[in-house]
């Protein structure tokens, strides 16, 4: 098979300090912010946010590697009375099945159910990822336009 046509090998691993600049670049991309419906953080805020996430043992935070390269991140974390999952893939890797495979792997690593995920109303690609793995629309948060999905 042509190497350019084969799906990438996806692996999740714990976040290391040397991953942070790559992860910052992912969320600093204006296309990423438009897709997820959230503003990116400036560098100092991003590093402080990641430090809080990584210090809290209730959070399960992983880097997404595709063929050995860091291409994004995925995490499960408590949010109010529920547990949520969130993921992010660099724009240069969109459309390659990376988010779907990373989420599949995370659902094995964190078997907590129910598990929720929020998507911006216009983010059809992320909604498809969630639907492929069994999430269903729970409700739309009218206050911020986010669609809440749940996996029972």
| pLDDT over threshold 60, residue 3 | no
Q: pLDDT tens for residues 83-117?
A: 999 999 999 999 999 999 999 999 999 999 999 99
Q: pLDDT tens for residues 12-47?
A: 999 999 999 999 999 999 988 888 888 889 999 999
| pLDDT over threshold 70, residue 134 | yes
| pLDDT over threshold 60, residue 2 | no
Please give the pLDDT value at position 8.
95
- Cβ(94)–Cβ(62) under 8 Å? no
More confident residue, 4 or 75: 75
- Cβ(62)–Cβ(74) under 8 Å? yes
Please give the pLDDT value at position 34.
84
Stretch 124-145: mean pLDDT, rounded? 92
Superfamily for domain range 10-113? Gcn5-related N-acetyltransferase (GNAT) (3.40.630.30)
Confidence at 5, pLDDT banded by 50, 70, 90: low
Q: pLDDT tens for residues 44-89?
A: 999 999 999 999 999 999 999 999 999 999 999 999 999 999 999 9
For residue 117, the SS3 value is: strand
Put simply, whether the predicted model's pTM sits higher than 0.75 gets the answer yes
Domain ranges of the chain: 10-113
């Amino acid at each position: 098979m042509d190497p350019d046509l084969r799906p990438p090998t996806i692996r999740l691993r714990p976040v290391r300090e040397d991953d942070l600049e790559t992860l910052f670049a992912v969320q600093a991309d204006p296309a990423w912010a438009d897709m997820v419906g959230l503003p990116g953080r400036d560098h100092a805020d991003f590093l402080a946010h990641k430090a809080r996430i990584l210090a809290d043992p209730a959070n399960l935070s992983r880097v997404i590697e595709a063929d050995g390269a860091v291409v994004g991140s995925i995490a499960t974390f408590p949010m109010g009375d529920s547990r949520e999952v969130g993921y992010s893939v660099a724009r240069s890797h969109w459309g390659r099945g990376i988010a779907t495979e990373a989420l599949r792997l995370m659902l094995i690593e964190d078997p907590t159910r129910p598990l929720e995920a929020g998507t911006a109303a216009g983010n059809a690609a992320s909604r498809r990822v969630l639907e492929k793995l069994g999430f269903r629309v729970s409700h739309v948060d009218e206050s911020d336009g986010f669609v809440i999905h749940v996996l029972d």
